[in-house]
Chains A and B, each alone.
Chain A
Amino acid sequence: MTRRRTGSWLTLGLLAVAVAVPVAAVAWRAVHPDGTLGPDAVTRVLSSARTWRLLGVTVAQAAVSTAVTVLVGLPVAWVLGTFRFRGRRLVRALALVPFVLPSVVLATAVAAVLGPTGPVDLRGTWWAVIIAHLSFNLAVVVLVVGGAVAARTRSLDDAGRLLGVGPLHALWRVTVPAVAPAIASAAAVVFLFCLTSFGVVVILGGGTVTTLEVEIWIRATRQYDLSGAAVLAMVQIVAVVAALGVHARVARHTGAAAGVAARRRPTVTSERVAVGLASGVVALVAGVPLAAVAVRSLHIGPALTFANWTRLGSVTQGTGLAISPAQVAVTSLVTASIATVFAVAIAVPTAALVAHRPGGVAERISLLPIAVSAITIGFGLVLVAGRPPVDLRGSWWLIPAAQALVAVPLVVRVVAPALRAVPRAAVDTAAMLGASPRARWWRVELPAVRGAVGGGAALAFVASLGEFGATVFLARPERTTLPVAIEQLMSRPGPAGFGQAMALSCVLVVVCGAVLVAIDTVAERRGGRAGAGARGTMAAWTSSPT
């Protein structure tokens, strides 16, 4: 036992150091702007009215995005949690897909509808950003609130009706209070996501709307104001930690939704209309952007063509890419695979510690990468990687390590509950039969949670594949990844780059969708083991903002 835990603590220590090093580098840059220790950069940034306006705007857009997402998501969650109807699985799956897509891909999809070539051009407005946030986060509300709706006991509804309460009244007096904690929890998660949203704002903001996260990036990579960016990154950490604190408070009141789903067919006309409306909303918010990406990938300007696809194998002039999109895809897949190995290697031992004592130090450390945004990790790694004593910038493992860091909390969230659910009796029996702690871990506990580990690994893969904030700082032109390449293509006007961005986005949609389907299929075959499967995995993801 001790031996195993020593190894786990070492892994956890590694995780803590991996987060602390970039943060320390950023903090050092903030107080040490021009080779001398001093508060100049801090006072310059903090005394600027623009900084506080930016913080206000960032918080406000997150609040508005959250409100819109909850308002649109609640009826959808209610319908999906309450009713059984033809196409329910499809609608639910469609609502979940945007959430597993890389933010850059989702933003590109929204830009296909609301960009310069779409029916309405909203690029460069908050509307586009808020709509993308809605599309992305609808899944959170559907999963968290929908789960609670489905789990509420149906007898409560029936009792209400028996006592003569109308269905709407019952909804208001019975269902809403029952799921209120879930709504609060979902809202807190959505708010956190929107607070640190980066890819969406970079692609849809068009340089005119920015948030704190984007401002850090612009200062660090465009304005060469590293100390200013560093101070803003510190502000961002404080803001995120505050939001995490709120989230923890809210989430504490939410028990795990563990009831048996009791869905019924819609009986009255109003219920059928509700089902139709909810399905329509999902189609509009999630289906239209995805369809638009596919359609736009088959066009250059107004002309129908396969050129965007056939040109993926070569370097096209004027797209700004140093290697062909196909090579970018291969690099991306390899990088994400390595990142997955790293993430699982760190997360599983960490999860063992978290499972042993939920809410303890281990759990807090495992959540550190969430409190520090991906941008800060990438920026910090750039600051530290090129300095003596070791020059790491050319290292093959630097980008995978950064991506793994971002993915670790997800994997921990999936694996730890599964480990907690391993029957104590099995472990104790093994101990009685003389199995050493090491043997118990490898032969009893780990095999029992292999479904969850597989799900966590798949999540880590999807998250690494789509990782943008940290990778954009570290990627080099000849070894760039798909999200970075897509952003590069989208930032250039002109139909060639736009078409290729659409085609590459399609590739990522298919890959991420395939991974999700694979998790789901494996889970079905296993019969819903704890923590395994798309539902458990997604539930863990939605309750753990990244």
Chain B
Amino acid sequence: MRSHPMSRRSTRRVIAAGAALAVALLAAACSGGDQQAATGATNSTGEPSSANEVVLVTYDAFALPESAAEAFRAQTGATIRVVTSGDAGAMLTKALLSPGAPEGDVLFGVDNTLATRVTAEELLEPFTPPNAGVVPDADRPGGELDELLTPIDTAAVCVNADVGALAARGLQPPATLADLADPRYRDLLVVPSPVTSSPGLAFLVGTVARSGDDWPAYWESLRANGVRVRPSWDDAYQTDYSASGGDRPLVVSYATSPPAEVLFSEGALSEPKSVVVEDTCVRQVEYAGVLRGAPHPDLARQLVEFMLGPEWQAALPLSNFVDPVVPGTPQPPEFATWAARPAAPLDLPVDRIGAERDQWIEQWRSIME
């Protein structure tokens, strides 16, 4: 039979293919092993499994306060692994697309502008840490959200002005939100998009808080004045802002960006290039919650509680450039000197934002895009 040698050859091929596949799978198993060695914490499928680890799901820009994480390990024996996926909005959406089968244990970084979304899909497990009493009432999200979200820090989203770059154009920093639409500041402002960035959304909320129903007109005037929209805070601040080497001397960033400038310059700057336009500041509160279906629910609760504790709270300013939510937490001197302290930042109730946010975003998109 002529077909005989052929079939034997094809048998050999099947064996060869099988061997190749086996090698590939072996490689997979080994990579799982590597991961295990590296993090001490995953099984061969890559899913978190170790009891000695708690996984913090958060946004890209989050920086784990190392000393506090060490203190948490000393207290509980568990290490904190950080898993990030995009900015706060992207991270939250990703979590909402797989409710009950989360990528980690604790969700951190949902802010007051997005808070109401966590009620969808039963994303979080109700949990109020025993030390929650230290949180001022004003920082709580309110209503049913109080049982799901624990406030951890506050911040203010504000326009930063590069004083030197403005002076070179013969300009003083703007004084008010309305100034940004002034033709003197034409083509100088860059903002992160409220669709894909949480400071961008906070700024949009601020303009609604200031202008009420007339906010679309304000954005029309910003648009007419040449505002540039970038997809993320990173793009706006790190690439386009003149103090970072870009061409725009006005940017939507944070009240704490000036001290961050100095601290990240590694000695190159003795004082910040930027000032904060306090009239533009919008209040932001960041929350943590326990994910439903968390692989390590006990550690998750312990971590949320620990995040309100003194070590974590004290480490927040210099790791993430936010203000601790617990009153009386000591502040680093750089903050006292350079961070803005807006007396009455723009703000709207969480439930009002929740009810109208999606509509605002749609309307903003139809104005700006």
Contact = CB atoms under 8 A, between A and B. Distances in A.
Given A442-B7, A444-B3, A494-B238, A224 B92 contact: yes
A492 B89 contact: no
B221 interface: no
A334 B101 contact: no
A222 B196 contact: yes
A394 interface: yes
A491 B85 CA distance: 12
Interface in B13-39: 13, 20-21, 24-25, 27-28, 30-31, 34-35, 38
Given A208-B229, A331-B28, A478-B46, A224 B238 contact: no
Interface in A315-343: 315, 320, 322-324, 327, 330-331, 333-334, 337-338, 341
Nearest to B228: A208
B193 A207 contact: yes
Interface string A464-484: 000000000100111100000
Classify the secondary structure of B's interface with A. Answer: helix
Contact of B27 (A333, A391, A444, A473): A333
B140 interface: no
A475 B331 CA distance: 40
Contacts of A323: 35
B361 interface: yes
Contact of B31 (A48, A116, A218, A330): A330
B29 to A, nearest CB: 9
Nearest to A379: B97
B3 A478 contact: no
Contacts of A330: 27-28, 30-31
B83 A478 contact: yes
Given A323-B35, A493-B239, A446 B10 contact: yes
A50 B366 contact: yes
B234 A447 contact: no
Interface in A485-508: 491-494
Nearest to A477: B83
A331 B25 CA distance: 10
Given A327-B31, A386-B98, A450-B10, A221 B193 contact: no
Interface in B325-368: 358, 361-362, 365-366
A394 B86 CA distance: 20
A430 B1 CA distance: 10
A221 B93 contact: yes
A394 B229 CA distance: 37
A383 B93 CA distance: 12
Contact of B6 (A221, A315, A396, A447): A447
Nearest to B236: A493
Nearest to B366: A50
B83 A391 contact: no
A225 interface: yes
A462 to B, nearest CB: 15
Interface residues of A, number: 51
A218 B7 contact: no
Nearest to B238: A493
B280 interface: no
B209 interface: no
A477 B103 contact: yes
A443 interface: yes
Contacts of B82: 322
Given A221-B93, A443-B7, A320 B84 contact: yes
B21 A341 contact: yes
B186 interface: no
B327 to A, nearest CB: 32
B7 A223 contact: no
Given A222-B93, A443-B7, A450-B13, A394 B31 contact: no
Nearest to B59: A320
B3 A223 contact: no
A88 interface: no
A322 B239 contact: no
Nearest to A444: B3
B169 to A, nearest CB: 22
Interface string A428-469: 001000000000001110110010000000000000000000
B172 interface: no
A386 B100 contact: yes
Interface of B: 3, 6-7, 9-10, 13, 20-21, 24-25, 27-28, 30-31, 34-35, 38, 42, 45-48, 60, 82-86, 89-90, 92-94, 96-101, 103, 117, 193, 195-196, 229-232, 234-235, 238-239, 358, 361-362, 365-366, 369
6 contacts: A207-B193, A320-B84, A330-B27, A382-B98, A396-B45, A478-B47
Given A322-B83, A477-B85, A491-B231, 20 more contacts: A48-B362, A50-B366, A206-B235, A207-B196, A207-B231, A218-B195, A220-B97, A221-B97, A223-B195, A223-B358, A224-B93, A322-B84, A330-B31, A331-B31, A334-B24, A383-B97, A391-B100, A393-B101, A476-B103, A478-B47
